[in-house]
Amino acid sequence: MIKYIGNSASGGLAVGKIKIINRRITGFKRVVLATHREKALYEAAIILAKDELRELMQTGDRTQQDILNFQLVMLDDNSLKEMVETNIAGGNGAARSVEMAMEEFCARLKNIGDGYLSERTSDIRDVLGRVVDILDGHSRERFNLTEPSIIVADEILPSDLASIDRQYALGFVTVGGSYQSHANIIARTMGIPSVCGMDSEILNPLNNGRTVCLDGYSGEVHISPNDGTVALFHHRIKQEQRAKLSLMALKEKEIYMPCGDKLEIWANCNDPQDITLAINNGAQGIGLVRSEILFMKSSQPTFESQLEFYCRCINAAQGKPVTIRTFDIGADKPIGDISLEKEPNPALGLRGIRLQYRHRQLFETQAKALYIAADRCGDLNVMLPMVALEKDLTDYLEMAEKVKNELLEKGDIYVDRITWGVMIETPAAALISDRLAQHVKFFSIGTNDLTQYTLAADRINVETAAYYNPLHPSVLKLIEITVNNANAAGVKVSVCGESAADAACAKAYAQLGVRYLSMAQNAMIPVKQQLLEEYV
């Protein structure tokens, strides 16, 4: 028996045969032609890659179609095209030029500092790897599974999941990838165990077809396990299946505090698919929809694409409350065609609501789409990020009021069904929450940024991890001030930061008076179980 240890990416257990997919070895010898010919080859490869993606979109579900559509958009990205053409002009062949552009583009995303955007490098590598394969005359190996298997690969790419027969996918083991890669997000959604960050030795062809026991919780992978290990895994799998049935029984249970107040579990989501899954898993509302996800599908989302997205979000919630966060973009998240000057400290620069003065049309278009979506599809909560000044809030609401009145006059909407709120993610917002409460109906506490700004500890810097503590007395004090001011004004308070998924934090927030906890949907049932044990 050989034991490997990687990083847990999706919890679960599996026993099956290994199917190895190794795309790291190419063995191609490239000949560089004249510059104009290499450029022509690149342009032809882009056309072929688009055809392949459109073919995959015909068989994929809506989630896969959205991912592949983003890849189609990337093939038309002007900055990416300029990188490739510059590399070709410098004497490199088309395939090598695409690889160089891919590395540079991915490095830029990694340096952004935003977890979701930086993890989109898998999509970039996927689509540009497809272009390189075409230029090299290499057909991409697909996951053609004919029996239940545990896939061992250098990396599971988003387009792989569009062609895979998921009923045969028992688990994923990858050398590359990360917890937030699309493949692992989907693996968690589907309940498929996955381990990433594995030693490359596991790709040894001799492992193909061998039995493997996969532990998605600990990151352990046992190849050619003995009979005792196999029996233990089968026993654990049966126990897990019984435990899941027991936990799902909590889905409909409600939580009440000792004072009699109801405590609701909501979900943070990226798109309508996330919302559907969350509602089906017992979410009592959607506390955060990140509207900037639209920039991953278009360089700058149109009014039509926004309207369609917001309506789909409302419909997916099946009558439960839905909260859309307006575009949280800025110099720390350079997206699409939004041109921003480089800032010395982007986390403290122009982002979120602060951009309304420079990109007025962008926010007016979003407000218009939100008002019409609410009018047509149902009530909508909308919250504003990165508020520190009362003036920023009142200026935005004044703009939104003007947009609403124009829509009413034209007959584009008949009623205002939007409830406005503010994200409390700066110490300033917490300390003036009594003043902010005069203008909105709800607060949503973003503990990620609130902790970062309160303790002056970059939330993604491992060197300051010891300082980043959402349970620090200073952070809890700011939350307490916010809750007290909200209660005095009759304003609802939720927490939508990642810390809400931690049972200890969730209990602390509930004790401070927070009555809505919003978290990743896969954390809802475990947190609910902990809270029920505490308060029932």
| Dihedral sign from CA coordinates of 6, 8, 12, 18 | negative
Of 106, 182, 222, 377, catalytic: 182
What is the DSSP secondary structure assignment for residue 206, as one 8-state letter?
Answer: G
Give CB contacts under 8 A, 24+ apart, made by 484-492.
Answer: 484/513, 485/433, 485/434, 485/437, 486/433, 486/437, 486/443, 487/513, 488/434, 488/437, 489/434, 489/437, 489/438, 491/437, 491/440, 491/441, 491/442, 491/443, 492/441, 492/442, 492/443, 492/516
Q: What's the CA gap between 123 and 145, in Å, rounded?
A: 23
The closest alpha carbon to 282, from 309, 257, 255, belongs to 255
Query: From CA 531, how far away is CA 510, in angstroms rounded?
Result: 9
What is the spatial distance between Cα 89 and Cα 96, in angstroms, rounded to a whole number? 12
Tokens of 69: 């559509």
Strand partners, 153: 21, 174
A 10 A CB-CB count for 473 gives 9
3-state secondary structure of 284: coil
Of 281, 365, 277, 375, the closest CA to residue 326 belongs to: 365
Helix (H) or strand (E) holding 149: strand 149-153
What 3-state class would DSSP assign to 509? helix
- Whole-angstrom CA distances from 182 to 64, 115, 242, 250, 271 are 10, 13, 28, 28, 13
Which single residue is written with the structure tokens 């943070």? 268
Query: Does residue 496 carry a catalytic annotation?
Result: yes
Per the residue annotation, which of 106, 313, 377, 496 is the catalytic one?
Answer: 496
Q: Would you please indicate which residues are annotated as catalytic (active-site) residues? A: 182, 496
